[in-house]
Structure 1
Amino acid sequence: MLLYNKQKRNQKLKTTKRFLVSINVLGSAGPIRFVVKEDETVANVIDYALKCYAREGRLPLLGSDSSFFLLYCPYYASQAFDPWGNIGSTGSRNFVLSKKLETQNLEDSVMTTTAIWRLKAWLNKSLGLMVPSH
């Protein structure tokens, strides 16, 4: 009997901790709340949050591919969490979920904007015209 109690106590100590997370989706009405294990990866949490979001029928529609989303802390949202890191190591229980910026579209828009500015500068210099910027 004593051996059984020790084994049972050791099993309780080996279990991973669980905690409640609250994820706000940009553009949605309220947070999604669910319980996760401490050793879950951030990518798995994002995937589960998207499934819960779709199951509840929330708007705007987000899709189901978790690779298009990033998870941030609402208090210092300057850098997203590593998708392969553990959610328990983030030190936070409140998160913000947002879509990734399309880097290709961003680069294209920056290039076209700089090309327009160069064209206006060239026209102003060579022709002596004042091309308005707006």
Structure 2
Amino acid sequence: MRMLLPKQKKSQTGKGNRLLISITVIGSAGPIRFVVNEEDIVSGVIVTALKTYAREGRLPILGSDINNFLLYCSLAGTDALNPSMTIGSIGVRNFMLCKKPQTEKTNTDEQQKHEVSSSSSRKGNGSWKAWLNKSLNLKVSSH
């Protein structure tokens, strides 16, 4: 007869504490939640978020190139997090994952207005800041 021993917890020395984080993707239904070590770097968290997102079959399809994405803190500041900083140094657990804005060629005013209105109707393109600015600009210019 075998005797079951209780599972022993792994030593956390050198690995830091584990955190349950929540990452919201603009245009997707509900946040992604997973556990990370507080010593994990932001770029590694972005990789894990993209893999989890794809594994769950979420829409819109994002791709897997981490260089196309920025991670923002949901509560404080408007600057993207530095990809080389540790996720635990921020002190929060809620984040937003956004695609980097694409650089546009200079166009005439009519072409730019058309691009702004069409890009604001697509979900998942650009950062949440750009989306908010475009939305506010459309409301102001429609008087």
TM-score, normalised on structure 2?
0.64
**Separation in 2, partners of 1:12, 1:27:** 36
Q: How many residues align?
A: 100
Equivalent pair of 2:23/2:97 in contact (CA under 8 Å): yes
Q: Where does residue 26 of structure 1 map in the other structure?
A: 26
- The structure carrying a bigger helix percent of its residues is 1
* Structure whose alpha-carbon radius of gyration is higher: 1
**Separation in 1, partners of 2:101, 2:15:** 38
Closer, same or farther: CA 64–76 of 1 in aligned 2, 3 Å: same
**Separation in 2, partners of 1:16, 1:56:** 28
Letter aligned with residue 87 of structure 1: I
1:69-105, Cα deviation, whole Å (9 max, x unpaired) = 00001123510000011001111100000000113x2
Letter aligned with residue 67 of structure 1: N
**Separation in 1, partners of 2:24, 2:76:** 14
Secondary structure of the equivalent of 1:45?
helix
Residue 61 (structure 2) pairs with residue 61 (structure 1): yes
**Separation in 1, partners of 2:58, 2:96:** 16
> Given the alignment, which residue of 112, 117, 120 partners 2:107?
112
Q: Where does residue 97 of structure 2 map in the other structure?
A: 97
Residue 47 (structure 2) pairs with residue 47 (structure 1): yes
Deviation at 1:31, TM superposition (A): 0.5
Residue 87 (structure 2) pairs with residue 87 (structure 1): yes
Deviation at 1:113, TM superposition (A): 4.0
Equivalent pair of 2:69/2:100 in contact (CA under 8 Å): yes
Question: Structure 1 residues 69-78 or 56-65, which shifts more?
Answer: 69-78
TM-score, normalised on structure 1?
0.68
Equivalent pair of 2:15/2:39 in contact (CA under 8 Å): no
Runs of 4+ with >2 A deviation: 11-15, 111-114
**Separation in 2, partners of 1:82, 1:61:** 24
Q: Where does residue 135 of structure 2 map in the other structure?
A: none
Q: CA RMSD in A?
A: 1.8
Letter aligned with residue 72 of structure 1: Y
